[in-house]
Amino acid sequence: MSYRVVTVLGVAHRERLGVVQAYRFALDLTPRQERAVLAHAGAARVAHNWALARVKAVMDQRAAERTYGIDEVDLTPTQGWSLPALRRAWNQAKSDVAPWWAECSKEAFNTGLDALARGLKNWSDSRTGKRAGRRVGFPRFKSRRRSTPSVRFTTGAIRVEPDRRHVVLPRLGRLKLHESARKLARRLEAGTARIVSATVRRDGGRWYVAFCVDVDRAARTPHQPQLVVGVDLGVKHLAVLSTGELEPNPRYLDAAARRMRRLARRVCRRVGPDRRTGRRASKRWERARARLGRAHARVAHLRRDGLHKLTTRLAREYGTIVVEDLNVAGMLANRRLARRIADAGFAELRRHLAYKAGWNGGRLVVADRWYPSSKTCSGCGAVKTKLALSERTYTCTTCGLVLDRDVNAARNLAALAAAVAGSGSETRNGRGADRKTPLAGLVAVKRQPGTAKAGNTGTVPPQGRTSDHELTYAS
């Protein structure tokens, strides 16, 4: 089963956790092997485009027939969107559409058909309101130049060789790994892991193989299970903990911006492809474009590595982690901070904490999006009506507390753990709700914090103990 959600406190007594985990390794392919992988990826693209054209043709034909006044029962029969229906249609037509179909594994064609089936289902569910989030568009045809080559294997011989330096995939044979697969091999040899599928994909000019593995993980306990930590995310510092620790923001994109601008100018000065005239790109343009792609991939890899190290350390150390439910899409509308916000990877950091806290026996608490963690005093609980983004030091006019703005917000987040001590996976938010803000938009009524009673303003206790203090407006 998929185990992306966070474990509740009662899971610690279980001996094993069944999770679906991915292991990704870089490949060192020979030119012949690379041609074979590209052929399989091309076969997936051909099957996808053929099935999409068939579905569109049937939909257009039925729409035209309705304009003629033809009854529904007499319309052209529909083409099923499910994977079995698309596979049956492909098997009937593959001899005419792709006479070379026997040269590639059946999993290659299944990869393209499966992607189309999921795309059509997401589009249909989005139109009918069954799918949350942004509206999903109708699937588009895949281009040989713009689409990412990828093929997925679910059946056949999929294994890691005893030397842990090679893997075996159907029809592709024995492929050399750039690094050792000892972590996966040890689990396979111990019988605590089972390979479900393997996906070969090109990313940033390199080929990778990703194994989807059903793993039985041993239940773990954080080093300090009773300790609560609040994590305030930001641009100046990637994460500020309620303990006072500041995690610097590496800003990988800014560090590589100069080199990437130079590579982008080099691409623009080469002779690129022109779809209007049918002009093909020059070899120098292809090489320059590949260099730029590798530069972008390096930034993404550095960011992913940094986020993994930070989230792994937090999940292994603390029993309860409290983070905010940030509106990252709305924050990206700020043109002055959009690039740095995107470079930080706030959503990816929260996603990592969600499943890693479960793996390590902890829990993740998500504060409500409208909880005033920055405006609230962590000493007395008073709430400021306004706090400009430029004010980096929080000064309380009620109790006189002077503290770094981000540290103050992190302490307020840590104090929420007791208030939402929970029953669920990603536990209830800071307002006690079991669900997030509805997709229809924000509510019209402004939420007002409660007024504290005299003498009951409360303070935030030291780390390890939390209290639910009431909120008051600062005078």
The single residue of 107, 114, 324, 343 carrying the catalytic annotation is 324
Angle separating helix axes 346-359 and 283-317, nearest 10 degrees: 50
Identity of residue 193? A
> Catalytic: 107?
no
Strand partners, 168: 159, 174
Active site residue 232: yes
Q: Which of 107, 114, 343, 406 is catalytic?
A: 406
What CA–CA distance (Å, rounded) separates 140 from 276? Answer: 20
DSSP letter string over 66-108?
Answer: HHTT--GGGSPPPPP-SHHHHHHHHHHHHHHH-TTGGGS-HHH
Strands (E), 291-355: 318-324
Nearest to 82 by CA among 54, 127, 119: 119
Among 107, 232, 368, 426, the active-site one is: 232
200: Cβ contacts below 8 Å, ≥ 6 apart: 27, 37, 40, 41, 150, 151, 152, 153, 169, 172, 207, 208, 209
Tokens of 34: 């690379």
- Spatial contact of 56 and 63, defined as CB atoms under 8 Å apart: no
Q: Verify whether residue 368 is a known catalytic residue.
A: no
Q: At what angle do helices 31-67 and 106-128 cross, to 10 degrees?
A: 40
Q: Assign residue 411 a region: left if phi > 0, alpha if psi is -120 to 50, beta otherwise?
A: alpha
For residues 320 and 221, is the Cβ–Cβ distance under 8 A? no
**Is-contact 151 108, C-beta < 8 A?**
yes
287-290: long-range contacts, CB 8 A cutoff, minimum separation 24: 288/263, 290/205
Indicate which residues carry an active-site annotation.
Answer: 232, 324, 406
